[in-house]
Amino acid sequence: MILDTNVWWRYLTAGRMAKETRRRIEQARAAGRLQVAAVTLWEIALLVQEGKLRIDDAVPKWLHTALARSGTTVAPLEPETAHEAARAAATLSDPAGCQIVGTAVHLAVPLATRDRRVLECARRLGIEALEA
């Protein structure tokens, strides 16, 4: 399962989330299948730099700790992911959202998001999209 940036942050901070989505995230974690797209790390770093997120450590160290604490691994940006992300760009204007959707499509795994446009795009591309 791929978590988008907002959902990963909510998971890390025990933020509000649909109960069924949280249950599915916990199942994926227990099975060692919980991931974020590589672009999610960049989005977190950018949000910190812009002052929109506050963290208690240097960004690289915080990201390593957050990944370990949440049982999440990083899905790399592979050539196939880039191809699927480009397909997503037909309906999404956000490049990071495209990469997140492209990652889920390439890996053929569910995607958890709160973004309606990402939900619609993922479903259009044949991926199970869980509304968080």
Nearest partner of 41 among 13, 15, 14, 73, judged by Cα: 73
- Which pTM was predicted? 0.95
Q: What is the pLDDT of residue 68?
A: 98
Convert the pLDDT of each residue in 55-106 to its tens digit: 999 999 999 999 999 999 999 999 999 999 999 999 999 999 999 999 999 9
Q: What is the pLDDT of residue 86?
A: 96
Residue with tokens 């797209």: 37
Average pLDDT of the chain, as a whole number: 96
Count CB atoms within 10 A of the CB of residue 57.
Answer: 11
pLDDT band at 46 (very low <50, low <70, confident <90, very high): very high
Q: What is the pLDDT of residue 6?
A: 97
Contact 28, 34 (CB under 8 A): yes
Average pLDDT over every residue of 40-49:
97
Convert the pLDDT of each residue in 22-33 to its tens digit: 999 999 999 999
Average pLDDT over every residue of 112-120:
96
Share of the chain above pLDDT 90, in %: 100
1: exposed, middle or buried (Cβ count in 10 Å: 0-12, 13-18, 19+): buried
